Structure 1
Amino acid sequence: MTRRVSVWGGGFWLSGKTREAALDAARELDDLGYARLWTSGGFGEGVPPVYSEVLNATTRLGVASGIVSMWHAEPADAAATVARFEQDHPGRFLLGVGTSHAPVVDAKAAHTYTKPYSHMVEYLDALDAAEPPVPAERRVLAALGPRMLELSAVRAAGAHPYFVPAEHTAQAREILGDGPMLAPEVAVVLESDESTARGIAREYMRGYLSLPNYSNNLRRLGYSEEDVSGGGTDKLMDALIPWGDLNRVVAGIEKHYGAGADEVAIQVLTTDQSAFPAAEYRRLAAALIE
């Protein structure tokens, strides 16, 4: 199985204020040998320029949307964007599509979050029917539960689970089988002071545990109500977020490869998420990229 090491990033990559710094960071990630940059931002309110700018600024680095919401991006717009990127940068852009979360979708008031699985099937049908269509190998699904994982195996190149421990990666690989791509996001904290590391991790966890898709997924894995409440327990944190010195963090990432991931999208958490943690990604590249 081919092993890829990738990067997951959010606001730093999308803000116009940090765009030049982001492009410099992308060039360094390309030089360090990272396989792909996964970054958030959908197509519903216009395609974020970071996608095309990172592709233009690098020579090899792949770019993936992590994740476009099917509720807010018209399939025709998504298909046109993928086609343009495929023409300009063959094989380097991957469309990540997800069902988002009921609190997020309902808050926008444009849709009601009902029957997400059926809507995803319809969305994939529309991508197939677009002119030109989005080939299955150029799209992945933000799959957590068994049905969506099964769908990602037959209607996409694979799955990009977010906010999952290694035991989910193992279950996902069993459902997907040997062929499809499995690329979980894994957040890490390269900080040896336990109080500081847990503070950074807990702030990150608090927001995601408030979203039912994530908390329900963890319940399916056997975590308790106490584990998924508030900012989560230390037990859950230790399962979700490798923290500590470089060796300990690398060991946590390696658990996902051992469980069946062929790509891990690493998100380095720090006290300042508006700045790119370049030093941390250099250290991780030296330890993980062959």
Structure 2
Amino acid sequence: MVPSTTKPKRARRASESAMEVERAGYGTLWLDASPPADLAFAEKLLDATTRMAVGTSVVNVWTADAETVAASYHRIVARHPGRFILGVGIGHREVHAEWASPYDTLVPYLDRLAQAVSRPNEWCWPPSVRG
């Protein structure tokens, strides 16, 4: 796992580390923590590599606007088709005062993500999770 960061020096080191991990033969690199909705750090790691996939682990629905995440997703997959894995989820109850039922929070968030993309099943796994 590579820590999510927006600091230039750390981001450069992370990109160099991603290249080393790819050269070592690994196929996927997962980000820890909850990246911002712009997903810029994941994109930077993809820019630094040529074949390795990058996954977000969990984009926090409390802190990352669904429409911004969807736009970021499209920007990234247009440049790196088949190499980006978007994971979304609920944050920890202890951290978010507005915490609510995970299901009741995720369903509308996923609906907003689906509305923000032209083909919702292109990014959703498993396809048609709600039927």
TM-score (norm 1): 0.40
Unaligned runs of 5+ in 1: 1-7, 107-111, 141-151, 157-290
After superposition, the C-alpha distances for 1:213-256 in whole angstroms (9 at most, x for unaligned) are xxxxxxxxxxxxxxxxxxxxxxxxxxxxxxxxxxxxxxxxxxxx
**Long gaps (5+) in structure 2:** none
Cross-structure match for 1:89: 80
SS of match in other structure, 1:103: coil
Q: Residue in 1 aligned with 2:9?
A: 17
Partner of 1:73: 64
1:54 CA displacement = 0.9
Q: 1:17 to 1:134 in 2, by over 3 A?
A: farther
Q: Identical aligned pairs, as a percentage?
A: 31
State whether structure 2 residue 91 is matched by structure 1 residue 155: no
- After superposition, give the CA deviation of every residue in 1:148-180 in whole Å (9 maximum; x if it has no partner): xxxx68529xxxxxxxxxxxxxxxxxxxxxxxx
* Structure with the higher fraction of residues in strand conformation: 1
Q: What SS does the aligned partner of 2:64 have?
A: coil
Change (3 A) 1:134 1:57: farther
Residue in 2 that maps onto 1:50: 41
Indicate yes or no: 2:55 matched with 1:64: yes
1:62 & 1:52 partners in 2: Cα distance?
10
Within 5 Å, give how 1:102-251 maps onto structure 2. 102-106=93-97, 112-135=98-121, 138-139=123-124, 155=129
Task: Identify, as 1 or 2, the structure richer in helix.
Answer: 1
1:134/1:80 CA distance change after superposition, 3 Å:
farther
Aligned-residue Cα RMSD (Å) equals 2.4
CA apart distance, 1:133: 4.8
Q: Does 1:32 align with 2:24?
A: yes
- Aligned AA for 1:97? V
Alpha-carbon distance in structure 1 between the residues aligned to 2:66 and 2:43: 19
- Between Structure 1 and Structure 2, whose CA radius of gyration is higher? 1
Q: CA deviation at 1:89?
A: 0.6
Q: How many residues align?
A: 129
TM-score of the superposed pair, with normalisation by structure 2: 0.83
* Distance in 1 separating the partners of 2:119 and 2:69: 10
Contact 1:99-1:120 within 8 A present in 2 as well? yes
SS in 2 for 1:55: helix
How far apart, in 2, do the equivalents of 1:81 and 1:74 lie?
A: 11
**Residues 153 and 130 of structure 1: CA distance in aligned 2, closer, same or farther (over 3 Å):** closer
